[in-house]
Chain A
């Protein structure tokens, strides 16, 4: 049996205002798996993803990513962990004063690649997401769907084995959602592990991937992790 890419054991997250975001979450995601985290707004999906990329620490419980116990108090090298994962969010987080290529190349430059090499690799990734024609355009000239594809390209540029996507289709219309989902499907087929948080149950029905449902996330006593489907 494969060692899990992600393991969460009895994870609780309570904010200082006593709002419980996650309660007793235990799950495992295997390498190469595509897993939807599904639930309504406020169910704890984003909190779960933020814990996985160390933007937040759980109140209790254990989290293991790539075999690294990220919840241990002596774990400090968040940046090293982040290099093994790509992060995509609903609001894209693109740099508006830069071109499409510069946005993607930036992720390489700041992790130690020389400029020319970064630009060339960015072009290659942009071709994969179908934006080769828009490389020199300003981010502001792109549609929301195209901007999300740039964000995905940036997340992929360091070839991470794990992709965490928090509502990546949240701001997109149906056609753009399908375009973006096509990219994720392609990445999954090429072996990338994908954790995809969404509140749209339609996606789960359309794509036969495993879905983990978070219910009633704000109430600690009613938290459940429900395996909707497990096709892995």
Chain B
């Protein structure tokens, strides 16, 4: 077994060094393909993450009809709290709303001079339970809120959530369609490089066939070569993506950096990196498998 492993490793590196240029080209092409796929994965990952943060902060504001008697507020609060999916409900009186606006305007709060708090409608700020912080579930809760006659208007940033969800879905779809196309390309490229390697070792392989070398003994070094090409290609893609990710922060203007500080632009988690590397290896293996099926028939 030890001998077999030694042989396979030695043979694989001999093959790779003997066809260094074509191997480097293949690794480069795999790296570019995997980089494109990984970039989409990173974008989708960050947008999903952003959507999750945004959804976590999402709240529903139910504006009460003007002139709703204050005696009805407490029972209405209780009723709203009992709705499925509602976590907390806070009553915001017109005075609270005015105070909030003053805080937001800061030094420019004099703009509000002459405006009576009574012009602002009272409202309920409704926090949703974690499982309900998505556009589908929010719609269900909003439908129940709309059935309550004391509410005049319900706001919850519906368009933003839906547009964002659609964007993330499109990105995911693009990622997988591109992934599929790149998969075919990588298998094709790896397969062709390995055919070159096999061709350059034609005489040796012929001797191997003559003396009765087992097919696995002949093929495994080529499979390993494909695996290594895929691993190195995937690894390079992750490295480039990491450098791009880091570079993004170096070259963006300071004003945008302050804004971006509120939105974390994360790098891919380790698990995803492992999947990308594994994906590269699987593609490399398939490429070599296809090549060996085509040209390593025992004859």
State the A residues within 8 Å of B (CB).
53, 55, 78-84, 87, 93, 95-96, 106-107, 109-112, 114, 154, 158
State whether the Cβ of B242 lies closer than 8 Å to any Cβ in chain A.
no
Contact A110 B208 (CB under 8 A): yes
Query: How many Å lie between the Cα of A148 and that of B3 in the bound state?
Result: 30
Majority secondary structure, B binding face: helix
Chain A's nearest CB lies how many Å from the CB of B216? 10
Contact B217 A110 (CB under 8 A): yes
23 contacts between A and B (CB under 8 A): A53-B210, A78-B212, A79-B209, A79-B212, A79-B214, A79-B215, A84-B212, A93-B203, A93-B210, A95-B204, A95-B207, A96-B203, A106-B204, A106-B207, A110-B7, A110-B207, A110-B211, A111-B211, A111-B213, A112-B217, A114-B3, A154-B207, A158-B211
Instruction: Name the CB-closest residue of A to B201.
Output: A95
Chain B stretch 75-103: residues in CB contact (< 8 A) with chain A? none
Contact B213 A110 (CB under 8 A): yes
B212 is contacted by which of A55, A83, A106, A109 (Cβ under 8 Å)?
A83
Contact B3 A107 (CB under 8 A): no
How does the 8 Å CB contact mask read for B195-211 relative to A, with 1 for contact and 0 for none? 00000000110111111
Query: How many Å lie between the Cα of A79 and that of B299 in the bound state?
Result: 10
Query: How many Å lie between the Cα of A158 and that of B208 in the bound state?
Result: 13
Query: How many Å lie between the Cα of A213 and that of B91 in the bound state?
Result: 110
How does the 8 Å CB contact mask read for B1-41 relative to A, with 1 for contact and 0 for none? 00110010000000000000000000000000000000000
Query: How many Å lie between the Cα of A96 and that of B202 in the bound state?
Result: 12
Q: Which residues of A contact B213 (CB under 8 A)?
A: 79, 110-111
Instruction: Name the CB-closest residue of A to B298.
Output: A78
Q: Which residues of A contact B211 (CB under 8 A)?
A: 82-83, 107, 110-111, 154, 158
Chain A's nearest CB lies how many Å from the CB of B5? 12
Q: Which residues of B contact A78 (CB under 8 A)?
A: 212, 298
Query: How many Å lie between the Cα of A53 and that of B211 in the bound state?
Result: 10
Instruction: Name the CB-closest residue of B to A56.
Output: B299
4 A-B pairs closest in CB distance: A82-B212, A83-B212, A110-B213, A107-B211
- Asked, given contacts A55-B299, A95-B203, whether A81 binds B210 with beta carbons under 8 Å apart, the answer is no
Contact B3 A112 (CB under 8 A): yes
Query: How many Å lie between the Cα of A83 and that of B298 in the bound state?
Result: 14
Q: Which residues of B contact A106 (CB under 8 A)?
A: 204, 207
Chain A's nearest CB lies how many Å from the CB of B207? 6
Contact A81 B212 (CB under 8 A): yes
Query: How many Å lie between the Cα of A79 and that of B216 in the bound state?
Result: 11
Most A CB atoms within 10 A — which of B4, B207, B210, B211?
Answer: B211
Chain A's nearest CB lies how many Å from the CB of B208? 5
Query: How many Å lie between the Cα of A111 and that of B216 in the bound state?
Result: 11
Contact A109 B207 (CB under 8 A): no
Q: Which residues of B contact A81 (CB under 8 A)?
A: 212
Chain A's nearest CB lies how many Å from the CB of B298? 5
Instruction: Name the CB-closest residue of A to B299.
Output: A55
Contact B298 A79 (CB under 8 A): yes
Instruction: Name the CB-closest residue of A to B218.
Output: A110
